[in-house]
Amino acid sequence: MSEPIKQERVYSGIGVSPGVARGTIFVYNVAEEVVPNYDITPEQVPQEIARFEQALIVTHQQLHELQQRIATGIGPAAPTSILDVHLSITQDPALIEPVITRLNQEKKNVEFIFNEVTRKYVKTLAELPDEFLRERAMDVQDVTRRILRNLLGRETRTLHNLPLNTIIIAYDLSPSDTSSLDRQHIVGFATDVGSHTSHTAILARSMNLPAIVGLRDASQHLRTGDMAILDGYGGSLIIFPSEQTFSIYGELEVKHHTIEERLAALRDQPAVTLDGHRITLAGNIESPDDIPMLKKGGAEGVGLFRTEFLYLNRKEFPNEQEQYEKYVRVAHDVKPHAVIIRTLDLGGDKFHSAEEAPTEINPFLGCRAIRFCLARPDIFKTQLRAILRASAEGNVKIMYPMISGVAELIRANEILDEVMADLRREKISFDENVQVGAMLEVPSAALTAETMANEVDFFSIGSNDLIQYTMAVDRVNEKVANLYEPTHPAILRLIRNCVEAAHNNNIWIGVCGEIAGDPLYIPLLVGMGIDELSLAPTSLPRIKDVVRRLTMSEAQELAVAALHATRGREVTAMLTALLQRIDPDLLA
């Protein structure tokens, strides 16, 4: 086989989690139809035939094993007779012979030939008038995909047992895929789709795992086993890096390391502006295991605990006791600070299990978050009981996601009251004065925030969703990622409205979306009157550095100018100039 030339190649995407990873690529979950196409020499034909035979044998074995698992009741529920049909396909001369003939004639790699032959075969079957034969087309497709994966050496949806220093390349990774990545072996990942605020990107930052999204079709061109450097700062994936590229990245890492060391010294310093305005800096977490990272970043508690991650990758929802143990552990560990436990935000791009594919056409506009909880009070109440029991620690706050208006908020509070009444009756202790907050992340809520301020103790702006819903920009779609504009005048006006509603009613307001972790937007948020910022623990030192180099008066001046701007671009330019002046390291 003529080896592809190992020349440096660069793929550009969106760097969503900082850091540089060096390792070997593992191509996972690639789009099925992507098959390499290259020429072979006449001497390589026997080798290709041998690979084909081997793939047929392996496929036969896999199907046989599957059949046995089904027969003993431990495999998926499917009639074993279907597998008889599948097994026979692996030996079907109508498929095998044309592959051998064309290999000899066309001198192309066997995956390519096999794919061509099977596509033609499936198409012919699917067009036959006989229904029985048409159905057989599906079986042939199933089996030939399996043979193809075996030929390509691609594992089917498994990210376990990977070698050390693996860089995962995938068309997409779901948040549940990402949260189950093995940090010991996987040093970074890159996906074709996604954007900065997709939950997969958010998780990568939490896990401190360099990552790139939005590589468009890179997964189609990359091969398992290739060497690569993944640059999570700039969003480049470099295949077969040259010596010179290795050394450039070596220098980059040293530079970042120096900055990180300087920032680490701020760990125990308060987030206070040069003229004495104090901001609370908290961390976003997805699991109690994130607490050490949170402490390392010097967070003042947890501003957002995304509890739905406790529900992913499992068959059953966690019961009350299991949830209680997790919540109480976090509450205990973050003392004397508080933990804001957000109630379940399932839906959108987060689903209970990998098998549970989104059943709605527009899951982000569907039965997500509080809507799901209000529709399933049994699940909601179980979680509220667990949170309330943990609140006996004295430092727990509750926050509802995706509230769209006051009626929904009142309904959620009514259910909370019912749960409190149950606990009182059962003589189970909890914090009677537990604070309750609402996320402002749906434009209808941001516009009517003043109607809700009396119902809660605090607000937290979920900018990821607020921008997505206001600008109609899907937060997981890389094709529109460039339209996601936090400085758009509409967003600034909504934020101003939320801040005024909070302060006019004497409650505090935070931001827990990703803009709170981006140094660029900090002067704007501080200047607009945001009291608390909650962000990925790894970004805390950078954000604290910006706050400490800023004066409240210049931030307020900037906010006034920004609110007068007619385009987001102008605001971004103002913010860039300010950051360049006060903290140029962070801009680089």
Active site residues: 199, 512
Positions 450 through 489 that interact with ligand PEP (CB under 6 A): 462-465
For the chain, report the end-to-end CA distance as a whole number of angstroms.
44
Q: Which is nearer to Mg ion, 283 or 462 (CB)?
A: 462
Backbone angles phi and psi of 387, in degrees to 5? -65, -45
Positions 287 through 316 that interact with ligand PEP (CB under 6 A): 304, 306
Q: Which is nearer to ligand PEP, 510 or 541 (CB)?
A: 510
How many of the chain's residues bind ligand PEP (CB under 6 A)? 11
Positions 487 through 526 that interact with ligand PEP (CB under 6 A): 512-513
DSSP 8-state secondary structure symbol assigned to residue 63: H
Instruction: By CB under 5 A, name the one of 175, 194, 443, 462 that touches Mg ion.
Output: 462
| Cα angle, residue 193 at apex, residues 187 and 198 outer, rounded to 5° | 80
Q: What type of residue is 415?
A: I
Min CB(480)–ligand PEP separation in Å: 17
Q: Which is nearer to ligand PEP, 196 or 277 (CB)?
A: 196
Neighbours of 421 (CB within 10 A): 10
Q: What is the dihedral of CA 70, 74, 77, 81, to 10 degrees?
A: 0
Q: Which is nearer to Mg ion, 401 or 537 (CB)?
A: 401
The site string for ligand PEP over 426-445 (x = CB under 6 A, - otherwise) reads: ---------------x----
Min CB(441)–Mg ion separation in Å: 5
Token pair, residue 53, equals: 């035979």
SS3 state of residue 525: helix
Q: Which does 463 bind (CB under 5 to 8 A by kind): Mg ion, ligand PEP, none?
A: ligand PEP
Could you give the CA distance from residue 440 to residue 391 in angstroms, rounded to a whole number?
23
Could you give the CA distance from residue 271 to residue 400 in angstroms, rounded to a whole number?
26
Could you give the CA distance from residue 248 to residue 442 in angstroms, rounded to a whole number?
43
Instruction: By CB under 5 A, name the one of 172, 349, 465, 514 that touches Mg ion.
Output: 465
Q: Which is nearer to Mg ion, 369 or 546 (CB)?
A: 369
Positions 429 through 458 that interact with Mg ion (CB under 5 A): 441
The rounded Cα 562 to chain-centroid distance in angstroms is 30
Min CB(107)–ligand PEP separation in Å: 52
Positions 120 through 179 that interact with ligand PEP (CB under 6 A): none
Min CB(375)–Mg ion separation in Å: 18
SS3 state of residue 436: strand
Min CB(513)–ligand PEP separation in Å: 3
Could you give the CA distance from residue 373 to residue 345 in angstroms, rounded to a whole number?
8
> Residue 458's beta-bridge partner residues?
437, 508
DSSP 8-state secondary structure symbol assigned to residue 310: G
Does 408 participate in binding ligand PEP (rule CB under 6 A)?
Answer: no
Token pair, residue 148, equals: 């193809």
Q: Which is nearer to ligand PEP, 382 or 460 (CB)?
A: 460
The rounded Cα 505 to chain-centroid distance in angstroms is 35
Q: How far is CA 509 from CA 246, 299, 405, 537, in A?
A: 45, 17, 17, 19
Q: Which is nearer to ligand PEP, 211 or 304 (CB)?
A: 304
Which residues of 433-483 form beta strands (DSSP E)?
435-440, 458-461
- Residues lying near Mg ion in the complex (CB under 5 A) are found at 441, 462, 465
Where does this chain bind ligand PEP (CB under 6 A)? Answer: 202, 304, 306, 345, 441, 462-465, 512-513
